Structure 1
Amino acid sequence: MNSFASFLDNHLFDGGSSDVFVTRQQAQADLEALRDIIRDRHSYVAAVAYPYERAIGAMIGQLPEQVSVRNLALQIQKLVQHLGDSHAQVVDWMQGLPGGCSPFAIGVENNLAFAYDPATRRLLDAAHPFVSSIDGLPFFRWLERAGDITSGPYASRSQRLARSLRLLRHVGYLRRELGLPDDPGITLELCDAANRSSRTMTVPIAETQDLSDPLLPLSNESGVRPGNIGYLRIYSQSDSALAARIDALMAPLRETDALIVDARQCGGGTRECLSALFPYFMMPEDGPYIHNVARLRAPADMSQDMLIDLLKVDDKAMFFRTDPSLPADEKAALEALLAGFHPQWQVPEGDFTDWYFGVLRAVPGKPHYDRPVYVLMDWGAGSAGDIFLSTFKGWRNVTLVGSASNGRSGNSIPFPLPNSGIRVRLSTMASFQKSGEMYDGFGIAPDLVMEARMSDWLGETDTILDRVTTMARSGKPGAAG
């Protein structure tokens, strides 16, 4: 095993008749191109000091004469999880995994994993819901391996959980990673909550499965809940139609006594929902609100004019510090923030641009909502979802409730490799919260922790929403019963 690329010791697989092969020389050229991309454009590798050049050298040293593109993609997927970048991954890498899927899904309650049928939302065994082992190997070993492949050692706990739950369905592939033999059945050891009673169950493995089922079956409907509590469901950060409907959805909620903004499982995407919603909670006297700052690793030959316009787009809406067209009050607000700004990580000078920033301000004519706001959050929010949550965190009248978010922000770009066609998504921006804290590897912490219960995963209840509704009615954070 190579100490700089321990993932090379893993069991690969025969790509089959549908696989594509490149020569050793072509694969080496692709890996050298990836090395140069990381060196010149990647934003976070210096934050973790991973010796990626040695790791890539070890990968090159083990290349056969004919290289499976699927296997090369898988090795690159494992490599980039060590870069401290929670966006880093090979695009569509899971589509190349070998067959063999579990017919059950995994949910989590109080750090205990339980198995259920995702089609019926029923437990495999109601008397013994929790998973002790799969194929004789303790479940934590499966979860740990899935987390290493999908997220790596520097990712937040929330990120590792969110991505692992999907990969755990690919039992056939993970068996090879864990050194377990193929078998037509999956053997589960199940136990009760106290681990006093257990049973063994074998279920047949499926060649393929529909893995698109939502992990948490939440409603997407907004409206007024009992007790005159408003409920606004932000189910996605990538749905422009939802962002366009924010004003219409807020109209019946303006006179409620409190508002619940539900951003659980909202994923990532753009900042359109944030831009449409947040001005409802601002007043003109607030002035410009700088909620996110970042520095970019741009191509060395990019002109100043190109840098100014580079992130001035709908999905980012970030502005450059030296843009001569900046409004004077926004420029002043940025300089005031930077004067006392202490980033968690000091980026290497000379490798990054000057600062970009995200800014929000009150919108003339938009009604001001001045009652308590509760923002629901969980491990299913990341990237634009992280930006959404960090913007609300610490704002007046706002309480964040739930579990920590994914933790990723980086203006990620898919870089194609020239011979294999593999596309590697990497962050090119070092992004910080207004507090100076990083997103990647940490995520946004709630003000009040609440986690989903088993019955929520099964679609029987929504205990978090019910508890926060009770809290909102009482007007006292923490009075959730």
Structure 2
Amino acid sequence: MAMRSGFREIVYLFLLVLLISSLQLLRFVLQKPLPQGVLTHAQMVLDLQVLQQQLNDYSAFVVLEPDRLKLLSQRIKQVSARYPQSIPLNRFNTEVRKLVCLLDDPGASISAWPMATALLPLSLQQMQQQWLALDNDGKPLDLSRPFLSHIDGLPIRLWLQAASSMAVPRQPLAPLLQQLQVLRQELGLRDKTTVTLTLTGDNIDAVNVELPVRNNLTGKRPPAISQWQWLDTATELFRFGDLNRLESDRQLQRDFQKALQAKTLILDMRQSSGFSPMLLQLLAKGRQYPATQPMGYARYRRSSQLRSDFLSPLGFVPLNHFQLFPPISAILNSQQQPELSQWYARPPIIAPKDVAPATTQQLVLLVGAGCRNECEWLAYYAKGWRKTLLIGEHTSGDMGRKHEFRLPASEMTVSISASLMYDQYGNLLSGQGTAPDLQLALPQTLPWPKLLQALRQHFTTTAKVE
């Protein structure tokens, strides 16, 4: 019996579909796989979508400037169009970093820098509008030409612009300028195993120096924990890293209680983070007037994933625990931002029952952009204390609790501020930071004899004025 025409067409159609499927499978089999460390366009788009959604839902700084979301969306589209086939993972890391920096969030961070194979073989230190080129010992590469004017033939200005696009507010640019390979990609320069540095000085011709690039950073890392050091018979130095250690480390508590008896106490807070309030409470006794009103306020970004106790680890309680002064209550109520939670309050540093005699100790705080979390509160309040001096650089204003998420394809971890902090008057503190009394770029190794001499002169002068 002859095959019916309709059945024959179905068989032919099935064979055609099978042939097309086989050809497609063969194409995937024969297609050259992407090298390791590269994302496909689809993977990149997926990560960018997750990034945009997370920033939209959890970033507290977006609430302050809603137009940032529009700019973020535009930049994400540009990145997606710039890499239509694939993107190296290192390059994607840089692009994500630039996108997150659009928030102006000092607490924003990416899991790690790109795996750079070329780092600048020197350290840089800003001096007004110029940059000192220093060797591993902190000495100028060329005493007569101490300043760096060009890298690979391009003015330092262009390198600073490229580094600034990846910097959160008040982040020091010197460490970013070390990322030679990353910045070369930003500026469209080819990778090579050497770098050309142009050194200049006053009334002298510039000179070009070619040096091999450095593969790994060899500089000393700042101490991770507190270090106690005698500077002279009347002066003690404490270097603080993780402030949370003060809560549980009994020996550290005993050591610090002894340091509180010194005539002059210097606290190096340039790399201090953590949310323990113990240090602020110990230092405030005898320096801070007791109060019944909150020392500060906070709100977090409304989200189904953030519970009402989101701020309790930072010491904040619901506002109804306090009877606020009417002017403060009016200021808080006037800030109507439905994207943020209700107000929370942080109890006063010193309650009336804990009043202590005025201290005679002279206190010096060394601060900078690495002073974060609880250190920011300490810097803000210490600036109003008697016999207290803040030295260093402007803090960044990183005070809020973070929201952390992971991008599925690249497996990068991103952290952003999900809350905002305010002072006792209802003024925004997050992102503002605190300016020191003496603005000074402090090297990691400080010239203590000169610094101590300057401090003695300062405190002697202020004592006469008082």
* Same fold? TM cut 0.5: yes
Q: Pairwise mapping of residues 318-337 of structure 1 onto structure 2 (< 5 A)? A: 318-322=316-320, 326=321, 331-332=322-323, 334=324
Question: 3-state DSSP class of the match of 1:361?
Answer: coil
Distance 1:348 1:424, change over 3 A: farther
Equivalent runs, 1:423-462 vs 2, <5 Å: 423-446=413-436, 448-452=437-441, 456=443, 460-461=447-448
**The one of 106, 115, 120 aligned to 2:133:** 115
1:390-422 C-alpha deviation (Å, 9 max, x unpaired): 132323543433331122223122111234322
Task: State the structure with bigger RCO (CA 8 A, min sep 6), 1 or 2.
Answer: 1
Q: Are 2:257 and 1:251 equivalent residues in the alignment?
A: yes
1:190 aligns with 2:187: no
Any conservation in 1 of the 2:290–2:354 contact (CA below 8 Å)? no
What code does the residue aligned with 1:312 have? Answer: S
3-state SS of the aligned residue for 1:426?
Answer: strand
Structure 1 residues 191-206: aligned runs within 5 Å: 191-192=200-201, 194=202, 196=204, 198-206=206-214
Q: Deviations over 1:41-78 (max 9, x none)?
A: 11112323221233333333444344544333321211
User: Hey, which of these two has a bigger chunk of helix by percent?
Assistant: 2
Name whichever of 467-476 and 37-46 sits farther off.
467-476
Q: Structure 1: which amino acid aligns with 2:406?
A: P
* 1:87–1:427 Cα contact (<8 Å) kept: yes
C-alpha separation between the residues in 2 aligned to 1:457 and 1:46? Answer: 37
Partner of 2:75: 55
Q: Does the 8 Å contact 1:246/1:277 carry over to 2? A: no
Matched, 1:411 2:418: no
- TM-score scaled by structure 1? 0.76
8 Å contact from structure 1 (residues 246, 273) kept in 2: no
**Selected match of 1:291 from 282, 292, 295:** 295
Paired with 1:421 and 1:368, the residues of 2 have a C-alpha distance of 54
Distance 1:76 1:347, change over 3 A: farther
* CA-CA distance at 1:351 after TM superposition: 0.9
Q: 2:245 corresponds to which residue?
A: 240
For 1:410, what is the secondary structure of its paired residue?
Answer: coil
Q: Which residue of 1 aligns with 2:93?
A: 73
Structure 1, 60-69 or 428-437: larger mean CA deviation: 60-69
Cα distance change on mapping 1:465 and 1:442 into 2, 3 Å:
farther
Asked if the contact 2:391/2:440 (under 8 Å) is kept, the reply is no
The aligned runs of 1:127-146 (5 Å cut-off) are 127-146=144-163
* Identical pairs, percent: 20
Q: Any idea what SS the aligned residue of 1:221 has?
A: strand
Alignment of structure 1 residues 255-404 onto 2, 5 Å: 255-257=261-263, 259-281=264-286, 286-288=290-292, 290-300=294-304, 306-307=307-308, 309-313=309-313, 316-322=314-320, 326=321, 331-332=322-323, 334=324, 338-339=328-329, 341=331, 349-362=337-350, 368=357, 370-371=359-360, 372-404=362-394
Kept in 1, the 8 Å contact 2:286–2:357? The answer is yes
Letter in 2 for 1:77: R
User: Which residue is 1:64 aligned to?
Assistant: 84
* 8 A contact 1:237–1:273 mirrored in 2: no
Q: List gaps (5 residues or longer) in structure 2.
A: 1-33
Q: Is the 8 A contact 2:369 2:394 kept in 1?
A: yes
Distance 1:380 1:422, change over 3 A: closer
Equivalent in the alignment of 1:83: 103
Residues 347 and 20 of structure 1, relative CA distance in 2, 3 Å threshold = farther
Report which of the two structures shows the higher radius of gyration computed on alpha carbons.
2
CA gap 1:207/1:114 in 2 versus in 1, 3 angstroms:
same
Q: Which consecutive unaligned segments of at least 5 residues does structure 1 have? A: 1-15
Q: CA deviation at 1:451?
A: 1.1
Query: CA, structure 1 residues 386+301, in 2 after alignment: closer, same or farther (shift >3 Å)?
Result: closer
Q: Which letter maps to 1:160?
A: Q
1:114 CA drift (Å): 1.0
Q: Which residue of 1 aligns with 2:228?
A: 221
Between the two proteins, the alignment pairs up a number of residues equal to: 427
How far the C-alpha of 1:195 sits from its partner, in A, is: 5.2
Instruction: Normalising by structure 2, report the TM-score.
Output: 0.78
Report if aligned partners of 1:380, 1:405 keep a CA contact under 8 Å in 2.
Answer: yes
Q: 1:407 to 1:463 in 2, by over 3 A?
A: farther
User: What is the alpha-carbon distance in structure 2 between the residues aligned to residue 150 and residue 278 of structure 1?
Assistant: 32
Q: How does 1:149-168 map to 2 (within 5 A)?
A: 149-151=166-168, 155=169, 159-161=170-172, 164-168=173-177
1:126 aligned to 143, 153, 156, which one?
143
Residues 408 and 247 (structure 1), Cα distance of their counterparts in 2 relative to 1, 3 Å cut: same
CA RMSD, Structure 1 to Structure 2 (Å): 3.6
What is the CA-CA distance between 1:352 and the residue it aligns to?
A: 0.8
3-state SS of 2:209 partner? strand
Q: What letter is aligned with 1:236? A: G
